[in-house]
Chains A and B, each alone.
Chain A
Amino acid sequence: MCGIAGLIHRGKSSNVGEELQHMLQALKHRGPDSTGYALYADNDGQNFILRFKVGENVGEGSTSVNEDESVYNERKKAVDKKLSELGALVVKEEKLTPYSYRYEIKFDKDLMEFSKSIESIQSVEILSIGKSLELIKDLGDATVVSERYGLNKVQGTHGIGHARMATESGVDIKSAHPFWGYPFADVSVVHNGQLTNYWNNRRVLENKGMRFMSECDSELIAVFLAERMRNGATLEEGMKESLTGLDGVFTYFVATKDSLGMAKDTMAAKPLVLYESDDLVAMGSEEIAIRSILPQEIDTYDPFDGEVKVWQT
């Protein structure tokens, strides 16, 4: 099933971390396995924020293999060494959990080669790179994950999130949403649905040099859009192509540094409720997600089949 939520403030910042937490918590019944946030925070825009993991959360319900923390530490050292070799300067580093880190780095070269090099280290996965994107995902509901990573204080303009019920792949962080739009900085995707031409598309995209980190069908959307954008398409053009390029049922959100978009498949098989005003757009799989931040009476609607919309901050 899964629940997705997103919001964008137009012309101002807000406490998007807390707002998205409320929206996703309201959708917990749609997906209790893991929760993910892609928050576009009010960072200074000088450095890249690199979020990566060196292992998995082996909490209750996880399908991951338990590893000793010393293994995580060795992998972290290997990442530091690679960063140095790549010419990236670490300005600030934070250890958030035994298996995940947030670095601020100075780097001005090719992000694809950078990512390939970092992820050549066993079990290391870059969750996101961006100048404003803060991508966090872990096992547990929205409140648990938010408290674990201190997200309810994050100020920003927009964000998307996902409450996951694992159906197509394991209960682990690598299969959790959002997915980073590798290798593009500040691009993230969340999805509700099932894609039925995953392997056909994956084989084609891998032959074109794109990378997949999980076997979760939803990751295909991020890679599909990234590949189209790499070939010069705008975000909206890529999203419109996805309506015919992707087969199955889906509603997905994609966010970039200054925009938020939604797409709904041509059968309109997955739910989405949308609220739009001059200064705020909020949307979610169910009305209660929107009501959790806007309890007053408001006008909402369901987008139609095959609809693509993009909003700017």
Chain B
Amino acid sequence: MANLKTAEKKTKAQSMGMHTETLTGKTQQKFFNPDEAENFFYWGTYDVDFNKRTDLDVKDLDCKQANGKIDELMSQGYGTIVIKNPQGKHSLGVGILNKLNLIFEGSLGYFGVGSIDGPIVRVNGRVGWSCAENMMAGKVVIEKNAGSCFGAAIRGGDLICKGSVGARTGIDQKGGTIIIGGDAGAFTGFMMQRGRIVILGDVGINLGDSMYDGTIYVGGKIGSFGSDAVESPMTKDDIDWLKRKLKVAEIGENFDVSKMTKVVAGKKLWNYDALEPTEKKGAI
């Protein structure tokens, strides 16, 4: 096995001072080379123009056809796509890995906009279970309510629901921010690992059950704390961050964030802080 710790040749990124940490242990890392433009794009992604806009009516399409059509439009450079008549269909808008302005005029079913990395999504209706599951980056705004497992296992980005959400919101969350304008159900933040959840309304039982990192802010009543979740004092940094984040999210105007309850993990997993530097970069 190559000994990365003693790797002699510096990459161009390191020469430019973009990466300074010394790699240890099992970490392997491949830096992007600015001279190789193709390395800046995922396979299957497109360079789109936000000003190039089109509508797509999916009333008579199944989810595979609709997603294929979105992909085709992106390949033609459309950067703003308005989806008409989603009518609660499942798995719409999944797997989009490039910048895109995606607007749904209606409601989505299960697994809407899952596994995305970069797009800005607005849903002018509600979403079913597991919206934005595994999201890596981008911004998703839901105008109405959302089902259970909202933002399950997200790693980054901002996920905003202006209404109320079901149970297990942010289950297995690994990064990013989830903001709820209304109430949230039971087991919110279940097995949460990193990231932040902000709930302006009430939250159900077992909040933060089995969480081992991350932070949850609650504006209303808490049904009960789950195992390992404890209350922590609000700091000035918390308040500043909340104000800034809610403003960017266009939600909770005039909401007094200083009165929110801050919930964090009360226990530390064994050897949890012995993370590789590159893994730490994944945390907010």
Q: Are B148 and A271 in contact (CB under 8 A)?
A: yes
Q: Complex formed: what's the CA distance from A266 to B206 in Å?
A: 11
Q: Complex formed: what's the CA distance from A271 to B145 in Å?
A: 14
- B128 CB contact (under 8 Å) in A266, A267, A268, A273: A273
Q: Which A residues lie within 8 Å of B204 (CB)?
A: 268, 304-305
Stretch at the interface among A14-22, A162-170, A288-296: A288-296
Stretch at the interface among B2-10, B159-167, B210-218: B159-167
State whether A300 and B167 are in contact (beta carbons under 8 Å apart), knowing that A287-B128, A288-B109, A291-B88 are contacts in the complex.
Answer: no
Interface bracket on B: 20 to 34
Contact string against A for B residues 155-181, beta-carbon threshold 8 Å, 1 for contact and 0 otherwise = 000000001111110000000000000
Q: Is A33 on the interface with B (CB-CB < 8 A)?
A: no
Q: Complex formed: what's the CA distance from A90 to B107 in Å?
A: 50
- A273 CB contact (under 8 Å) in B89, B147, B163, B168: B147
Q: Is B187 on the interface with A (CB-CB < 8 A)?
A: yes
Q: Is A93 on the interface with B (CB-CB < 8 A)?
A: no
Q: How far is the CB of A96 from chain B (nearest CB, A)?
A: 34
Q: Which of A255-302 contact B (CB under 8 A)?
A: 266-269, 271, 273, 286-288, 290-291, 295, 297, 299-302
Instruction: Please classify the interface of chain B as helix (H, G, I), strand (E, B), loop, or mixed, using the class held by over half of its residues.
Output: loop
Chain A residue at minimal CB-CB distance from B166: A302
Q: Which B residues lie within 8 Å of A306 (CB)?
A: 186
Interface bracket on A: 20 to 34
Q: Complex formed: what's the CA distance from A273 to B107 in Å?
A: 12
Q: Which of A53-93 contact B (CB under 8 A)?
A: none
Q: Are B126 and A304 in contact (CB under 8 A)?
A: no
Q: Are A297 and B185 in contact (CB under 8 A)?
A: no
Q: Are B107 and A297 in contact (CB under 8 A)?
A: yes
- A305 CB contact (under 8 Å) in B126, B129, B185: B185
Q: Are A271 and B126 in contact (CB under 8 A)?
A: no
Q: Which A residues lie within 8 Å of B168 (CB)?
A: 268
State whether A305 and B167 are in contact (beta carbons under 8 Å apart), knowing that A271-B147, A288-B109, A297-B106 are contacts in the complex.
Answer: yes
Q: Are B205 and A302 in contact (CB under 8 A)?
A: no
Q: Complex formed: what's the CA distance from A99 to B147 in Å?
A: 41
State whether A300 and B148 are in contact (beta carbons under 8 Å apart), knowing that A271-B129, A286-B128, A288-B88 are contacts in the complex.
Answer: no
Q: How far is the CB of A2 from chain B (nearest CB, A)?
A: 15
Q: Is B14 on the interface with A (CB-CB < 8 A)?
A: no
Q: Which A residues lie within 8 Å of B167 (CB)?
A: 267-269, 302, 304-305
Q: Are A302 and B147 in contact (CB under 8 A)?
A: yes
- B145 CB contact (under 8 Å) in A266, A268, A302: A302
State whether A295 and B87 are in contact (beta carbons under 8 Å apart), knowing that A300-B126, A304-B167 are contacts in the complex.
Answer: yes
Q: Complex formed: what's the CA distance from A290 to B126 in Å?
A: 13
Q: How far is the CB of B107 from chain A (nearest CB, A)?
A: 6
- B107 CB contact (under 8 Å) in A268, A300, A304: A300
Q: Which of A99-140 contact B (CB under 8 A)?
A: none
Q: How far is the CB of A23 from chain B (nearest CB, A)?
A: 12
Q: Is B46 on the interface with A (CB-CB < 8 A)?
A: no
Chain A residue at minimal CB-CB distance from B105: A297
Q: Are B185 and A302 in contact (CB under 8 A)?
A: yes
Q: Are A287 and B88 in contact (CB under 8 A)?
A: yes
Chain B residue at minimal CB-CB distance from A288: B88
Q: Are A301 and B107 in contact (CB under 8 A)?
A: no
State whether A287 and B187 are in contact (beta carbons under 8 Å apart), knowing that A266-B205, A301-B164, A305-B167 are contacts in the complex.
Answer: no
Q: Complex formed: what's the CA distance from A268 to B206 in Å?
A: 12
Q: Which A residues lie within 8 Å of B77 (CB)?
A: none
Q: Are B110 and A305 in contact (CB under 8 A)?
A: no
Q: Complex formed: what's the CA distance from A299 to B186 in Å?
A: 22
Q: Is B252 on the interface with A (CB-CB < 8 A)?
A: no
Q: How far is the CB of B248 from chain A (nearest CB, A)?
A: 26
| 12 A-B pairs (CB sep. < 8 Å) | A268-B186, A269-B167, A271-B148, A286-B88, A288-B87, A288-B88, A288-B109, A295-B87, A299-B144, A302-B165, A304-B166, A306-B186
What 6 pairs across the A-B complex have the smallest Cβ distances?
A287-B88, A268-B167, A302-B166, A305-B186, A291-B88, A301-B145
Other CB < 8 Å A-B pairs besides A297-B107, A300-B145, 19 of them?
Answer: A271-B148, A286-B88, A286-B109, A286-B128, A287-B88, A287-B108, A288-B87, A288-B88, A288-B90, A291-B107, A301-B126, A301-B145, A302-B145, A302-B147, A302-B167, A304-B166, A304-B183, A304-B185, A306-B186
